[in-house]
Structure 1
Amino acid sequence: MFEPDPVVPIGEFSRLTYLSVKTLRHYHDVGLLEPASIDPSTGYRRYSLDQVPRAHLIRRLRDLDMPVPEVRAVLRAPDDGARDATIRSHLERMEAELARTRGVVASLRELLSPVPAAPLAVAFLDVPARPVFAVRAIVSAADAGGWYADARLLLDSALAHVDVRAAGPHGATWSHEYFEDERGEVAAFVPVPRGAAPRPRDVVAGVEGIELASGRFAVAEHLGGFDDFDRTYGALGSHVVRHAVGLPDAIREVYRIEPGGGGDASAARTDVYWPVRSAA
């Protein structure tokens, strides 16, 4: 004959699960762990012993900073595959955040190091106009990373649709409003041969054929990921202030070796083009 698992008061269940009574009440309120029974007259909660593993799972997921809605999705998953996919997605986000934190820590240690960093090599170049496929939008700083990733996919799709090979690495221009107001025009671009498919928007919405204007730039190479990108900007901009006249035109970045994609971010190479006034 089947006998249900015994039920225990919330205080006893707290000791069984290593969760405080306050936490158990909160998990009940947000729909993560419903008591087995609630006394209608006193409101006392009682829990079944078979709820202990569920409480342990919730504890571990919350220790991993999984948001309550995602914990709820794990608990209500229709099968193991759906449950594991939700957990795996959260773990991947945590790993990415951990990598970012390590990068920031390493950058901070270097910043505080008594050994001064090597001077940034800066060259002044006259850059000719060049045709590009571009995706332009007003972008906020908080959304810039995701927006650029989507724009790059559009650019690659446009190249494939018109059967044109890139004539150089991808890049982006960043308006001065983007830096000053944390929101401004950004243009992701990829160089193309002159005369190649002037209307890519006909095959991929949002992609246009434009020409990057010619100009004179102070150029420096940034090595590694973007955790200490501000240091390269600071050194390059300071060099411009000391040795040239800067212009408020958009800054260009050319991603010769891009970070991410499972690769080593420290291997990334970015050329930063700071617009300056041409010599008389």
Structure 2
Amino acid sequence: MLAIGEFSRLTHLSVRTLRRYHDADLLVPATVDDASGYRYYSADQIPTAQVIHRLRELDVPLAEVRRIVRSADPATRADLVADHLRRLESELARTRAAVVSLRRLLRPDPAPLQVELRSVPATTVAAVEGDVELDDVLPWYSGAMAELDALVSQPTGAPGGLYDNSLFEVGRGHLVVYRPTSRPPRGGRVRPVTLPAVELAAATHVGDHDDIQVTYGELGAWVVGNALAVAGPVRETYLVGPRDTADPSAWRTEIGWPVFRVATRAAVAGRPGGTASA
């Protein structure tokens, strides 16, 4: 039997932590002296203590740690750990995206965004469309693009997507993912769709998609500053992306907002019989 101090040194768990784990019924001593209340551990408990220590380093909640160490089935233990690791990876991805965005937003002298106004004619493309929850956009996009890749053998341009404004405003909206081709096929969810003619304010986001919302914001500020208003779903064109290269620094995503020019308050008020309005 090992006294709690000895067990602490062997497992790198403090005496205070061992007592807390005992109180939480997570790591119960092999025996407790009735007279003195001293806790004693067996050498067989060292691996269990080390597992608990590693799980807690990964921020696994105590209740889940208890389930893992008490499970007799190795496959069940592995599944429980894998579930938590997936959650950690997701949290790390969100943290990384936030850090990238903040660094760009807090730059003292951000580079000016290059915006192009251009007319885009109506175009018939091969497309998959549907109403999608915001949290499901990435898997839905991947599935839709896989169907397009399977049917469109000779694309005539970069793939793209139309994202309804309600997707960002209320968390659910209409999506159209497409590939330009001279003869759009039909099959599964793929069908010909005609994208309407638009006037686009377009800018290219360079690099990883973690801070693409910053480019959205800069483009939006440019639109407002030039007395324009958004007139439809945003268009993204994936000039270079993960499908083309694993190097995020090489990715290029064009963001295009259909726009129209709006009258300023002064212009409206200056017309015969005109009044300024919001």
Q: TM-score, normalised by structure 1?
A: 0.71
- The answer as to 2:168 corresponding to 1:179 is yes
Instruction: Say whether the 8 Å CA contact 1:253–1:270 is kept in structure 2.
Output: yes
- Shift in CA distance, 8/120, structure 1 to aligned 2, threshold 3 Å: same
Cα displacement (A) at 1:219: 0.3
User: In percent, how many aligned pairs have the same letter?
Assistant: 35
- Shift in CA distance, 242/110, structure 1 to aligned 2, threshold 3 Å: closer
**Map of 2:25 onto structure 1:** 28
- The answer as to 2:266 corresponding to 1:275 is no
Question: Which amino acid in 1 is paired with 2:248?
Answer: A
- The answer as to 2:224 corresponding to 1:234 is no
Question: Which amino acid in 1 is paired with 2:221?
Answer: S
- Shift in CA distance, 87/112, structure 1 to aligned 2, threshold 3 Å: same
- Shift in CA distance, 74/125, structure 1 to aligned 2, threshold 3 Å: farther
Separation in structure 1 between the aligned mates of residue 240 and residue 65 of structure 2, nearest angstrom: 35
**Map of 2:268 onto structure 1:** none
Number of aligned positions between the proteins: 256
Deviations 1:47-66 (A, max 9, x none): 43211122112211221224
Separation in structure 1 between the aligned mates of residue 42 and residue 118 of structure 2, nearest angstrom: 73
Q: How does 1:74-113 map to 2 (within 5 A)?
A: 76=71, 94=88, 97-98=91-92, 101-113=95-107
Cα displacement (A) at 1:244: 4.2
Cα displacement (A) at 1:228: 2.3
Instruction: Say whether the 8 Å CA contact 2:68–2:80 is kept in structure 1.
Output: yes
Comparing 120-129 with 242-251, greater Cα deviation is found at 242-251
User: Considering only CA atoms, is the larger Rg found in Structure 1 or Structure 2?
Assistant: 2
- The answer as to 2:217 corresponding to 1:197 is no
Deviations 1:86-115 (A, max 9, x none): 76776676567546544533442343333x
Cα displacement (A) at 1:197: 1.8
Q: Which blocks of at least 5 consecutive residues in structure 2 are unaligned?
A: 263-278
Cα displacement (A) at 1:24: 0.9
CA RMSD of aligned residues (A): 4.0
- Shift in CA distance, 258/94, structure 1 to aligned 2, threshold 3 Å: farther
Which of 100, 111, 116 is 1:123 aligned to? 116
Instruction: Say whether the 8 Å CA contact 1:132–1:192 is kept in structure 2.
Output: yes
Separation in structure 2 between the aligned mates of residue 8 and residue 277 of structure 1, nearest angstrom: 78
Instruction: Say whether the 8 Å CA contact 2:161–2:235 is kept in structure 1.
Output: yes
**Map of 1:157 onto structure 2:** 147
Q: Which blocks of at least 5 consecutive residues in structure 1 are unaligned?
A: 1-5
Separation in structure 2 between the aligned mates of residue 241 and residue 57 of structure 1, nearest angstrom: 56
Question: Which amino acid in 1 is paired with 2:156?
Answer: A
Separation in structure 2 between the aligned mates of residue 139 and residue 36 of structure 1, nearest angstrom: 51
Separation in structure 2 between the aligned mates of residue 192 and residue 124 of structure 1, nearest angstrom: 21
Instruction: Say whether the 8 Å CA contact 1:255–1:269 is kept in structure 2.
Output: yes
Instruction: Say whether the 8 Å CA contact 1:171–1:253 is kept in structure 2.
Output: yes
Instruction: Say whether the 8 Å CA contact 2:207–2:249 is kept in structure 1.
Output: yes
Deviations 1:73-92 (A, max 9, x none): 5874855x987787677667
**Map of 2:248 onto structure 1:** 265
- Shift in CA distance, 70/270, structure 1 to aligned 2, threshold 3 Å: farther
Separation in structure 2 between the aligned mates of residue 262 and residue 8 of structure 1, nearest angstrom: 57
- Shift in CA distance, 22/268, structure 1 to aligned 2, threshold 3 Å: farther
Instruction: Say whether the 8 Å CA contact 2:101–2:214 is kept in structure 1.
Output: no
Cα displacement (A) at 1:220: 0.2
Which of 99, 103, 126 is 1:132 aligned to? 126
**Map of 2:55 onto structure 1:** 61
Cα displacement (A) at 1:192: 3.7
Question: Which amino acid in 2 is paired with 1:138?
Answer: V
Instruction: Say whether the 8 Å CA contact 1:164–1:192 is kept in structure 2.
Output: no
